[in-house]
């Protein structure tokens, strides 16, 4: 008979977390060496470099306003849930030369502190040949730390305590990759104007004794009303109330354990706290229909998505600054939070975070790696976007990717649509015409039309005409845009122009017929098949590369 753990609880109080903890403690370093827990995306050298650059900028800014005495004190960089240790090694290797290159930071005594709650994992690090020399040099230390139940850290090698009772003078840097997603959270739901909370029961279909991995458990979800004063903690209550408003059905994941820990970490040092993190997560709360409960991923251990926009709201409510990507990352969301110091002081840090972590950073690098590793077909939309971001929205690169964009934007989610629009706006803004044949505004317009933004497409077509003069293909695309906006008269006028400029184009004639059907209401409104598929013929506008299909030779 199926065991169930009986109790129906809020998600953060579920027995699930006890099972998760037991799994990590049992597995130790084998969790990564066997590949059970994915780690490549968070522990590679690019990740190490991106974080190292952000940390150097943070320290550089802090050093500008600190005293010589403060700079003589040790600075700790604490990694939570350091797992295999590979990220720590990559990061320290990348950090060292970059610190030495900045005169104000050259003599700083920086110690990297690897932490985890699993003793077996910490024991594994202490035996590792690569880490040992760093320990001897005093650049690396270890400590047990539970991200859900924070308590003072006792550093194994130096015996130093990081303790709120005696906060360290100076800044503190904390890094956490793939950690927050495995810490207790609560889940709230907005649906049909009703705000409720998910409650959960853990079910083991084959009985408790036979659980060998968390793959063997199921969650049974329910909902309950949210009582006033759901949290005794006034800061969490304030956050929950601020998230309870707003429009649109959505699930709100509140990482309660992490938020309490963040506050604890803040109290460990007197200077500013930089918290850098990456996870399976969202940079904005997804709007849309709800399932039974939030999705749980199982990979030996279990995890949930991290909503960085929720954490950003909390950090700002605490007077801190939050840097979260403006787009939805495809595989790995990253964020940086600073608590303490003057808010204005961190604007350069925010720009650097954008330049090295958001655009062309670890997530984009991973998409491009997948693209090169995979079959050489049409890249996915995520890969195209990564390539464009990594190229800083350069118009040459956009032209190279244009046809693939036209194919990959036939069906887009609302989130993808928002991100493609943002990308096109960046391409448009950066484009510098030099009188070349290639018609960047036309290509931007074609993708805009494709994703259902005909008004913006028409604006770009006007620019294209100013640069390149009138022609039939542009008028054809304009006709498609007018038609999509429901302006049949303008669409007819544009088809007439298209036929006048290029009588051998096929699509304008089809459009004339379609527009007649649209006007009488007799035909299917072809905002589907015919217009979409016709546009597949669009290719880069350059000499000898026509956009739309010509009439077949007689």
Ligand X SMILES: C[S@@+](CC[C@H](N)C(=O)[O-])C[C@H]1O[C@@H](n2cnc3c(N)ncnc32)[C@H](O)[C@@H]1O
For residues 16 to 55, the per-residue mask of contacts with ligand X, x marking binding by CB under 6 A and - elsewhere, is --------x------------x-x--xx------------
Which of 99, 122, 179, 399 is close enough to bind ligand X by CB under 6 A? 179
188 lines the binding site for ligand X (CB under 6 A): no
Helix (H, G, I), strand (E, B) or coil at 354: helix
Nearest approach, Cβ of residue 48 and ligand X (Å): 11
87 lines the binding site for ligand X (CB under 6 A): yes
* Binding segment toward ligand X, per CB under 6 A, in 80-88, 248-256, 400-408, 467-475: 80-88
Name beta bridge partners: 111.
76
Q: Is the dihedral of CA 397, 401, 402, 403 positive or negative?
A: positive
148 lines the binding site for ligand X (CB under 6 A): yes
147 lines the binding site for ligand X (CB under 6 A): yes
Return the percent helix, strand and coil in the chain, to nearest 5: 45, 15, 35
Nearest approach, Cβ of residue 316 and ligand X (Å): 25
* Binding segment toward ligand X, per CB under 6 A, in 68-76, 173-181, 190-198, 427-435: 173-181
Alpha-carbon distance 448 to 439, whole Å? Answer: 15
Nearest approach, Cβ of residue 124 and ligand X (Å): 10
Which of 10, 29, 81, 325 is close enough to bind ligand X by CB under 6 A? 81
178 lines the binding site for ligand X (CB under 6 A): yes
Local structure of residue 208 (DSSP, 8 states): G
Nearest approach, Cβ of residue 329 and ligand X (Å): 15
* Binding segment toward ligand X, per CB under 6 A, in 96-104, 110-118, 228-236, 361-369: 110-118
90 lines the binding site for ligand X (CB under 6 A): no
Local structure of residue 160 (DSSP, 8 states): -
Q: Which of residues 205-244 bind ligand X (CB under 6 A)?
A: none
Nearest approach, Cβ of residue 82 and ligand X (Å): 6
* Binding segment toward ligand X, per CB under 6 A, in 83-91, 130-138, 415-423, 499-507: 83-91
Nearest approach, Cβ of residue 231 and ligand X (Å): 20
Closer by beta carbon to ligand X, 183 or else 381? 183
Say if residues 143 and 156 touch (Cβ distance below 8 Å).
Answer: yes
Q: Which helix (H) or strand (E) holds 532?
A: helix 529-535
Instruction: Region of 510 please: left (phi>0), alpha (psi -120 to 50) or beta.
Output: alpha
Closer by beta carbon to ligand X, 146 or else 415? 146
277 lines the binding site for ligand X (CB under 6 A): no
Nearest approach, Cβ of residue 22 and ligand X (Å): 11
Q: Which helix (H) or strand (E) holds 273?
A: strand 273-279
* Binding segment toward ligand X, per CB under 6 A, in 100-108, 143-151, 284-292, 457-465: 143-151
Q: Which of residues 475-534 bind ligand X (CB under 6 A)?
A: none
Tokens of 454: 């005909």
Nearest approach, Cβ of residue 232 and ligand X (Å): 21
Closer by beta carbon to ligand X, 84 or else 383? 84
Instruction: Region of 546 please: left (phi>0), alpha (psi -120 to 50) or beta.
Output: beta
Nearest CA among 390, 403, 196, 182 for reference residue 297? 182
Q: Which helix (H) or strand (E) holds 442?
A: helix 440-450
Other C-beta atoms lying within 10 Å of the C-beta of residue 121: 26
89 lines the binding site for ligand X (CB under 6 A): no
Alpha-carbon distance 87 to 210, whole Å? Answer: 34
177 lines the binding site for ligand X (CB under 6 A): yes
Tokens of 425: 């706006």
Cβ-proximal residues to 337 (8 Å cutoff; 6+ apart), any chain: 262, 273, 274, 275, 277, 311, 312, 315, 320, 321, 322, 323
Closer by beta carbon to ligand X, 153 or else 477? 153
Rg, the chain, Cα only:
28
83 lines the binding site for ligand X (CB under 6 A): yes
174 lines the binding site for ligand X (CB under 6 A): no
124 lines the binding site for ligand X (CB under 6 A): no
Tokens of 256: 């309660």
Nearest approach, Cβ of residue 79 and ligand X (Å): 7
Alpha-carbon distance 132 to 431, whole Å? Answer: 51
117 lines the binding site for ligand X (CB under 6 A): yes
Closer by beta carbon to ligand X, 183 or else 357? 183
Q: Is the dihedral of CA 450, 455, 456, 459 positive or negative?
A: positive
182 lines the binding site for ligand X (CB under 6 A): yes
Closer by beta carbon to ligand X, 149 or else 396? 149
116 lines the binding site for ligand X (CB under 6 A): yes
Other C-beta atoms lying within 10 Å of the C-beta of residue 265: 23
Q: How many residues does the chain have?
A: 554
Closer by beta carbon to ligand X, 51 or else 548? 51
* Binding segment toward ligand X, per CB under 6 A, in 77-85, 222-230, 341-349, 369-377: 77-85
Query: What is the CA angle 275-58-258, rounded to 5?
Result: 5
395 lines the binding site for ligand X (CB under 6 A): no
189 lines the binding site for ligand X (CB under 6 A): no
Residue 271 CA from chain centroid, whole number: 28
Q: Which helix (H) or strand (E) holds 145?
A: none
84 lines the binding site for ligand X (CB under 6 A): yes
Nearest approach, Cβ of residue 41 and ligand X (Å): 8
* Binding segment toward ligand X, per CB under 6 A, in 59-67, 113-121, 459-467, 533-541: 113-121
Cβ burial, residue 288 (10 Å; 0-12/13-18/19+):
exposed
CA–CA distances in Å: residue 234 to residues 9, 226, 306: 21, 15, 22
Q: How many residues bind ligand X (CB under 6 A)?
A: 24
Closer by beta carbon to ligand X, 302 or else 481? 302
Cβ-proximal residues to 421 (8 Å cutoff; 6+ apart), any chain: 448, 451, 453, 456
Binding stretches for ligand X (CB under 6 A):
24, 37, 39, 42-43, 80-84, 87, 116-118, 121, 145-148, 177-179, 182-183
């Amino acid at each position: 008979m199926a065991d169930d753990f009986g109790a129906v609880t809020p998600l953060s109080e579920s027995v699930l977390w006890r099972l998760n903890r037991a799994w990590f403690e049992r597995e130790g370093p084998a969790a990564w060496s066997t590949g059970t827990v994915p780690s490549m995306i968070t522990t590679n050298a690019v990740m190490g470099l991106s974080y190292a650059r952000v940390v150097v900028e943070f320290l550089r800014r802090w050093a500008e306003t600190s005293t010589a005495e403060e700079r003589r004190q040790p600075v700790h960089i604490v990694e939570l849930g350091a797992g295999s240790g590979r990220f720590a090694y990559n990061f320290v290797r990348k950090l060292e030369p970059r610190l030495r290159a900045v005169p104000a930071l050259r003599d700083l005594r920086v110690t990297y502190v690897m932490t985890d709650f699993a003793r077996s994992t910490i024991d594994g690090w202490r035996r590792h040949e690569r880490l040992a020399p760093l320990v001897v040099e005093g650049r690396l230390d270890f400590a047990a730390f539970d991200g859900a139940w924070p308590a003072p850290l006792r550093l194994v090698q130096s015996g130093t305590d990081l303790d709120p009772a005696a906060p360290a003078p100076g800044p503190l840097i904390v890094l956490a990759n793939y950690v927050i997603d495995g810490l207790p959270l609560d889940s709230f739901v907005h649906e049909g104007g009703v705000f409720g909370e998910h409650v959960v029961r853990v079910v083991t279909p084959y009985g408790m004794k036979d659980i060998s991995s968390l793959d063997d458990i199921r969650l049974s979800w329910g909902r309950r009303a949210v009582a006033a004063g759901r949290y005794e903690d006034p800061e969490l209550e304030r956050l929950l109330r601020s998230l309870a408003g707003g429009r649109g059905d959505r699930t709100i994941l509140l990482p309660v354990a992490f938020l309490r820990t963040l506050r604890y970490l803040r109290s460990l040092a007197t200077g500013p706290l930089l918290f850098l993190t990456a996870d399976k997560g969202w940079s904005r709360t997804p709007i849309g229909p709800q399932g039974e409960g939030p999705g749980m991923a199982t990979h030996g251990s279990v995890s949930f998505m991290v909503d960085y926009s929720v954490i950003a709201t909390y950090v700002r409510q605490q007077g801190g600054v939050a840097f979260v990507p403006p787009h939805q990352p495809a595989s790995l969301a990253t964020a940086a939070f600073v608590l303490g110091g003057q808010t204005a002081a961190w604007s350069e840090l925010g720009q650097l975070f954008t330049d090295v972590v958001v655009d062309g950073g670890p997530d984009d690098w991973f998409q491009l790696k997948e693209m090169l590793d995979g079959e050489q077909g049409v890249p996915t939309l995520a890969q195209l976007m990564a390539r464009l971001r990594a190229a800083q929205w350069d118009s040459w690169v956009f032209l190279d990717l244009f046809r693939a964009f036209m194919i990959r934007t036939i069906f887009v989610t609302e989130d993808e649509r928002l991100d493609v629009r943002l990308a096109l706006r960046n391409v448009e803004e950066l484009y510098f015409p030099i009188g070349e044949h290639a018609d960047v505004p036309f290509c931007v317009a074609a993708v805009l039309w494709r994703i259902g933004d005909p008004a913006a497409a028409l604006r770009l077509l006007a620019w294209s005409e100013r640069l390149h003069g009138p022609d039939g293909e542009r008028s054809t695309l304009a006709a498609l845009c007018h038609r999509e906006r429901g302006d049949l008269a303008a669409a007819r006028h544009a088809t007439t122009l298209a036929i006048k400029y290029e009588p051998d184009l096929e699509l304008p004639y089809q459009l004339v017929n379609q527009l007649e059907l649209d006007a009488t209401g007799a035909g299917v409104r072809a905002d589907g098949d015919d217009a979409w598929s016709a546009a597949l013929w669009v290719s880069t506008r350059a000499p000898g590369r026509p956009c739309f299909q010509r009439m077949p030779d007689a």
